[in-house]
Amino acid sequence: MSLFFEGHEDHVSIIKHRDGLECDACDRSFGDVFSCGECKFIVHKKCVFMFDIQEIFDHPSHDGHCLKLLTTGAPDYTDQKCHLCGKKTKRLLYHCSDCKLNLDIDCIIDHICARSPLKMPWHHHPLIKVEHGNNMLCDFCNESGIDYCCPRCRFMIHERCVFVFDSPEITHPSHVRHPLKLLSNGAPDYTNLKCHICGDATGNLLYHCDICKFNLDMRCAVRKPTPVALSDVKVHEHTLTLMPRLISFVCDACGMKGDRAPYFGISSSPKQENKSMTVLNCCQTIHLHGHFA
Ligand SMILES: [Zn+2]
Ligand SMILES: [Zn+2]
Ligand SMILES: [Zn+2]
Ligand SMILES: [Zn+2]
Ligand SMILES: [Zn+2]
Ligand SMILES: [Zn+2]
Ligand SMILES: [Zn+2]
Ligand SMILES: [Zn+2]
Total domains in the chain come to 4
Residues 70 and 160 in one domain: no
Contacts of 270 (CB under 8 A, 6+ apart): none
Domain boundary among 211, 226, 241: 226
How many whole angstroms from 3 Cα to the centroid of ligand 8? 42
CA distances to 1, 229, 256 from 5, in Å: 8, 49, 48
Residues 22 and 64 in one domain: no
Distance from Cα 213 to the centre of ligand 7, integer Å = 7
Find the ligand nearest to 245 CA.
7
Ligand number nearest CA of 25 is 1
What's the CA-to-centroid distance between 65 and ligand 2, angstroms? 5
DSSP-derived letter for residue 118 is B
Q: Which ligand approaches the C-alpha of residue 155 most closely?
A: 5
Looking at the fold, whether 206 and 240 belong to one and the same domain comes out as: no
Q: Which residues fall within 8 angstroms of residue 83, CB to CB, at 6 or more apart? A: 61, 99, 101, 102, 103
**What would the pLDDT profile of 260-284 be if each residue is shown by its tens digit?**
888 777 655 554 443 332 333 334 4
| Residue of 23, 20, 13, 25 whose CA lies nearest to 70 | 25
Q: Distance between CA atoms of 148 and 155, rounded to whole angstroms?
A: 8
> Which parts of 33-174 are beta strand (E)?
33-36, 42-44, 55-56, 67-70, 93-96, 101-103, 128-129, 148-150, 155-157, 169-172
Rg of the Cα atoms in the chain = 24
Angle at alpha carbon of residue 218, lines to 43 and 240, rounded to 5°: 150
Ligand 8 center to 288 CA (angstroms): 7
Helix (H, G, I), strand (E, B) or coil at 275: helix
**32 and 93 share a domain?**
no
Residue 292 lies in a domain: no
Find out whether 261 and 198 touch, Cβ atoms under 8 Å: yes
β-bridge mates for residue 12, sequence order: 36
Distance CA(92)–CA(24), nearest Å, equals 6
User: Residue 7: which domain range?
Assistant: 1-52
- Per-residue pLDDT tens over the stretch 73-128: 999 999 999 999 999 999 999 999 999 999 999 999 999 999 898 999 999 999 99
In single-letter form, the type of residue at position 236 comes to H
Residue 293 lies in a domain: no
Task: List the beta bridge partners of residue 67.
Answer: 56, 96
- Taking the CA of 154 as reference, the closest ligand is 5
What residues have CB less than 8 Å from 179, skipping those under 6 apart? 169, 170, 171, 209
Identify the domain boundary among 195, 210, 226. Answer: 226
pLDDT in tens, the chain (293 residues): 345 677 777 777 777 766 667 889 987 766 778 888 888 888 888 888 888 889 999 999 999 999 999 999 999 999 999 999 999 999 999 999 999 999 999 999 999 999 898 999 999 999 999 988 888 889 999 999 999 999 998 899 999 999 889 899 999 998 999 999 999 988 998 999 999 988 899 988 999 999 999 999 999 998 888 777 776 655 556 677 888 888 888 777 777 788 888 877 765 555 444 333 233 333 445 555 555 54
How close is the Cα of 24 to the center of ligand 4, in Å?
A: 27
Distance 111 CA to ligand 5 centre (A): 14
